[in-house]
Amino acid sequence: MKSTTNTNGQDLVLPYKYPWNKITIGIIIIFICAVIGVAVGSVYIPVTSVFLILFSKLNLFNGSIELTPAWHTIIWNIRFPRVVLALLVGASLGISGATYQGLFKNPLADPYLIGVASGASLGATIVFLSGIPFTYGYFSLLPIASFCGGIVAVFIAYLISIKSSNTHLSTLLLAGLAIGAFATAITGILMLRSDPDLRPLLSWLMGGFIRAQWSHSILIMPYMIIGVSFILGYSRILNTMQLEEYYAESLGVNTEKTKRILIVSATLVTAAAVSFSGLIGFVGLIAPHIIRLLWGTDYRTLLPLSGIVGAAFLILADLTARTIVNPIELPVGIITALVGSPFFVYVLLKTKGSTVDGS
């Protein structure tokens, strides 16, 4: 419900309205970010050319395109796939971050900070280094392996946080830190024992979209769609999960089932994101908090808008990463960490002493 004040100065309570207008504006913002992302780079390409190529690919424009082949390649084969992958990964991390925060009643939960992403990247590394072919047309083993690694990590972090006598919100993060460090160590050992040419793997682990291809976006789409559908479907129930578990149960919620479905869905979405972009932190922390500050805590609003903010943020972060120290490309994870770490401290200080904790 939303409340407003009518002309008599009385408080009126209005029923919940789905934020269609905010979502529409958000999609327009993403589109603008995407166009900027495609146009700007080591070679600047006029926005009109970006639109020309987009329209011709969508069969909306039949005239002849007067573009040099080089521009065509840059726009369609390099920058577009990169921007679209950043969009999908940003949306995934924003939505899964908000979901973990709701489930664990912990405003600092982020797929990266609670160890899910590290677990997922360990899963992907194992497949990567095993030598077995992992891509079959439009099916890839990478997201599946990431999912297995991520789900193991999140369950261990969760078990530690509920078994620990100290139910403070830091427990989950510390457990996540330990699991993340462990998974990263194993990843390191596996890498040292394998083939010497590790450049693709290394750049992937650093996090980024340097090697982004159209096929990557297509490969992770099904997992994202399945995971996000379940999460959005449970968004109203996630509101009731903000109460203590027994209280939510007295309101008719099957809390065990809800937790299982949402952990699996959020991890699936995270794994899809990690499987082609590597470790990118803090997006899942920043996006939901901006929405919370602006429009409150209703998960029906929070989840879709976190996805939108995550997508726009990651497109811009990637743009910054590849242009700020021209001609060197920074891993995008560096940019998100630069923005995210102060943000993390801010949220930490703000929630200090709050009753919201990991119990």
Partner 1 sequence: MVLDLQNISFKYGNVNAIQEITAHFNPGELVSLVGPNGAGKTTLLKLISGTLKPSSGKIYIYDQLSHNLTNKKRAVWISMVPQNPKLPDEISIPDFVMLGRNPHLGLLQWESKKDFDIARKSMSLTEIDYLSKRKLGEISGGERQRTMLALAITQESPIMLLDEPTSNLDISHQIKVIKLIRKIHEQKSGFGVTILAIHDLNIAAQFSDRILLFSKGSIAADGTPEEVLTKNNIESIYGSEVTIITHPEHGTPVIIS
Contact footprint for partner 1 (CB under 8 A): 1-3, 11-16, 18, 105, 233-234, 236-237, 239-240, 242-244, 246-247, 249-254, 292, 296-298, 300, 354-356, 359
C-beta atoms surrounding 144 within 10 Å: 19
Spatial CB neighbours of 85, under 8 Å, sequence gap ≥ 6: 209, 212, 216, 217, 276, 277
Residue closer to partner 1, measured from CB, 285 or 321? 285
Residue 135, helix vs strand vs coil:
strand
Measured from the CB of residue 109, what is the shortest distance to partner 1 in angstroms?
Answer: 14
Nearer CB in complex with partner 1: 56/242: 242
Task: Report in angstroms how near the CB of residue 16 gets to partner 1 at its nearest.
Answer: 6
Paired residues of 140 in beta bridges: 135
Please, what is the minimum distance in Å from the beta carbon of residue 168 to partner 1? 13
Q: How far is the CA of 101 from the CAs of 92, 111, 169, 350, in angstroms?
A: 14, 10, 11, 15
Residue number, 79 or 292, with CB nearest to partner 1 = 292
Phi, psi of 4, rounded to the nearest 5 degrees:
-135, 175
Of 223 and 234, CB closest to partner 1: 234
To partner 1, the closest distance from the beta carbon of 254 in angstroms equals: 5
Question: Cis (ω within 30 of 0) for the bond into 342?
Answer: no
CB nearer to partner 1: pick between 209 and 234:
234
Report in angstroms how near the CB of residue 248 gets to partner 1 at its nearest: 8
Q: Which two tokens stand for residue 327?
A: 């001609």
The C-alpha atoms of residue 182 and residue 184 are separated, in whole angstroms, by 5
Nearer to partner 1, 14 or 328 (CB): 14
Q: If residue 2 lies in a helix (H) or strand (E), which one and from where to where?
A: strand 2-5
The distance of closest approach from Cβ of residue 347 to partner 1 in the complex, given in angstroms and rounded to an integer, is 12
Tell me how far, at minimum, the Cβ of 98 lies from partner 1, in Å. 14
Concatenate the DSSP letters of all residues of 147-199 into one string. Answer: HHHHHHHHHHHHHHHHHSS--STHHHHHHHHHHHHHHHHHHHHHHHTS-S--H
CB of 38 vs partner 1, minimal distance in Å? 36
How many CB atoms are located within 10 Å of the residue 141 CB? 18
* Residue-wise burial string across 211-224, b where 16 or more C-beta atoms lie within 10 A, e elsewhere: ebeeebbebbeebb
Q: Is the CB of 122 or the CB of 172 nearer to partner 1?
A: 172
Closest separation in Å from C-beta 166 to partner 1: 15
- In 3D space, the residue among 22, 28, 36 whose CA is nearest the CA of residue 315 turns out to be 36
Closest CB to partner 1 among 72 and 168?
168
Question: What are the tokens at 335?
Answer: 């940019």
Q: Which residue has the tokens 């479907």?
A: 233
Q: DSSP class of residue 42?
A: S
Q: Which is nearer to partner 1, 31 or 247 (CB)?
A: 247
